Amino acid sequence: MGTVKVSVGAASIQVVRGGNALLPCTFHTTASLSRLNIIWTVTPLAEPDHPQQVLAYEQGEVVESLSQYTGRVGFAFSPTQSATIFLNKTRSSDSGTYQCSVMNPPDRDMPNIGVIQLTVLVPPSSPECSSEGSGEEGGDIRLSCGVREGVPAPTFTWEKIPPDKQPLVTSYTETRRALLTLQNLTAATSGLYRCTAANALGSGSCSLQLRVHLAPQDKLGIVVGVTVTLSMGLVLLALLALVLWLHHQSAGKWTEEEVEDSYNEIRVDSLSPRRLIVAKSLSSDIPTASPAAKPLWVFSSSTPNTRYAERQRGLGDGRQAAPPRGPAWAASRGRSSSSSSSGSSHLSEEGARPGSEAEEPAWRPSDHSESAPAQALPPKLPGFLV
């Protein structure tokens, strides 16, 4: 009675995804091959604790066990000559540890197992770049670059375009992702950052455009400054407009008062005694703003503070002097003077006729009468300065 010896040509085999792999396994036995038994198993990388049967040769028949290998796996030679198998159209999931076990009683089966490590190589997928952080001036930001697949694990390289004086340090969080941390951001940190992922089968790259902008507090200060400046400008413009408006209103008011005073003034001047000067204003010289503007009287006397005008022409025969009138008559005369302009017009025409004698006053102050108390002057009437 002999022994069964199993050997493999290589401990590990690499194949590009989609290619064909040959897993060698040979055995030596001295007993009859009628009871030869060959079994291939795999322990996937994703499930290291769950070995699965791939292919078997039992009692002269080939048995395929796993559906995922159907049509892709088989013995490369006759099982009675070699236990070598082939694996076509390899997939990433085919990577794992493969074992070849040979038994041929009555030979002993020690050692009868061969182990091969199969690695399916995969080029890196297109990298994906992302960033974490606000990108504010003075802050920090993390640039991330990762791939979904790549065997062996790709190496990552970060670079700035155009290049920076300080080298970029890349850190890894996992086999398929790399991080680049930028601290204390400044305006010089802005630029294009490119990440390249590469392994023995190929490479890929992605890029990020980093723009470092002003911090929020700086923006807030600028906004507040502009707002305050605009507010102050509006207030100054409003004050200037108010001053100009008040100046315009005051100037117009002063002009109106001067014009009104010039038309309403009655001046007592020194003329010869006992003469009544009557002036009739022309309609073209009177402001049209007052509908009551008509021929007016202007009184003059040589006596200062004279309250009444005396008529120059004496009364006819048989006419008696009118009794003196009291202060009440003077006050009523001032109120009714504006309404009796038509009657005054006839009187002014007679009194202003040259050469005519002035009528004598209807009454004269009596020397024996008591002096009347001082009364308020009648309101000013529009007229001309004499």
The structural domains of the chain, ordered by start, are 5-121 (2.60.40.10), 128-210 (2.60.40.10), 263-316+326-361+376-386 (no CATH)
pLDDT band at 257 (very low <50, low <70, confident <90, very high): low
pLDDT bin (cut points 50, 70, 90) of residue 1 is low
Whether 180 contacts 207, CB under 8 Å: no
* Predicted local distance difference test score (pLDDT) of residue 337: 44
Which of 8-12, 173-177, 319-323 has the weakest average pLDDT? 319-323
Q: What is the mean pLDDT of residues 125-134?
A: 93
| Predicted structure pTM score | 0.53
As a whole number, mean pLDDT of residues 57-68 equals: 88
Q: Quick one: pLDDT at residue 37?
A: 93
Q: How confident is the model at residue 260 (pLDDT cuts 50, 70, 90)?
A: low
DSSP assignment string, 180-246: EEE-S--GGG-EEEEEEEEETTEEEEEEEEE--B--HHHHHHHHHHHHHHHHHHHHHHHHHHHHHHH
CA distances from 121 to 47, 58, 91, 95, 96 (A): 18, 32, 9, 9, 12
CA angle 112, 71, 36 (to 5 degrees): 25
> Which band of pLDDT confidence, cut at 50, 70 and 90, is reported for residue 250?
confident
Mean of per-residue pLDDT scores for the chain:
74
Highest mean pLDDT among 81-90, 165-174, 281-290: 81-90
Who wins on pLDDT, 354 or 164?
A: 164
pLDDT above 70: residue 312: no
- Percent of the chain past pLDDT 70, that is, above it, reads 62
Query: What average pLDDT does this structure show over 155-164?
Result: 90
Decide if pLDDT at 364 tops 90.
Answer: no
**What pLDDT, on a 0 to 100 scale, did the predictor assign at position 11?**
92
Vertex 313: Cα angle to 307 and 317 (nearest 5): 120
Residue with tokens 């009523």: 332
pLDDT of residue 340: 40
- Percentage of the chain beyond pLDDT 90 is 37
Does residue 77 carry a pLDDT above 90? yes
Tell me the CB-side half-sphere exposure of residue 49, using CA atoms within 13 A: 0
Residue 151 pLDDT:
94
pLDDT for 26: 94
In this model, does residue 311 exceed pLDDT 70?
no
Dist CA 226 CA 187 (whole Å): 24
- Phi, psi at 333, each rounded to 5°: -65, -40
pLDDT at 284 over 90: no
Q: Who's near 80: CB < 8 A, 6+ residues apart?
A: 33, 36
